[in-house]
Amino acid sequence: MPIPSDPWLLISPYLREALALDKEELATWLSSLRAVTPAIADPLEPLLLEYRKVARRRLFAASAVYFSQQSGLAGQVICGSRLITPIGVGGMGSVQLAEGFV
């Protein structure tokens, strides 16, 4: 079978398999892959590490949205505006839908 000229075509099936593994399984799997085909394991490992970082950030962001919605701020009056509901959350705070701004 010919080797694809595009590295992504070579790595992609392994990436799909690796993403289905938990952290411990992944370490073992990568070691085995590196022993057999380092040309695939070497470029694959940084992709997997970056994917894990992004996945953790998404989980953190989703948690922040959930907790901001549970904060119970609805109905409070701040600076002449009554808070209705959270509509977003960012790195240092949340955005609330409010009415009655004076």
Model confidence over 8-42: pLDDT tens digits? Answer: 788 888 988 888 888 889 999 999 999 999 888 88
Residue 97, in any domain of the structure: yes
On whether both 25 and 75 belong to a single domain, the answer is: no
Residue 75, in any domain of the structure: yes
On whether both 36 and 75 belong to a single domain, the answer is: no
Q: Among 28-42, 57-71, 85-99, whose mean pLDDT is lowest?
A: 57-71
**Which of 11, 4, 9, 8 has the alpha carbon at shortest distance from 37?**
11
Count up the domains in the chain and report the number.
Answer: 2
* CB crowding 6-31: b at 16 or more within 10 Å, else e: eeeebbeebeeebeeeeeeebeebbe
**Residue of 8 and 57 predicted with greater confidence:** 8
Residue 5 has pLDDT above 90, yes or no: no
Residue 51, in any domain of the structure: yes
Q: Is 56 helix (H, G, I), strand (E, B) or coil?
A: helix
On whether both 29 and 78 belong to a single domain, the answer is: no
On whether both 12 and 41 belong to a single domain, the answer is: yes
Q: Is 52 helix (H, G, I), strand (E, B) or coil?
A: helix
Residue 71 has pLDDT above 70, yes or no: no
Residue 10, in any domain of the structure: yes
The answer, as to whether pTM is greater than 0.85, is: no
Alpha-carbon distances, residue 42 vs 15, 17, 19, 78, 96 (angstroms) = 12, 16, 16, 54, 46
Residue 42, in any domain of the structure: yes
Residue range(s) defining the domain that contains residue 99: 71-102
**Residue of 61 and 87 predicted with greater confidence:** 87
**Residue of 54 and 101 predicted with greater confidence:** 54
Residue 66, in any domain of the structure: no
Tokens representing residue 30 in the block: 């990568």
On whether both 46 and 79 belong to a single domain, the answer is: no
Give the full edge-to-edge strand order of the sheet including 77-78.
Answer: 77-78, 81-89, 94-99
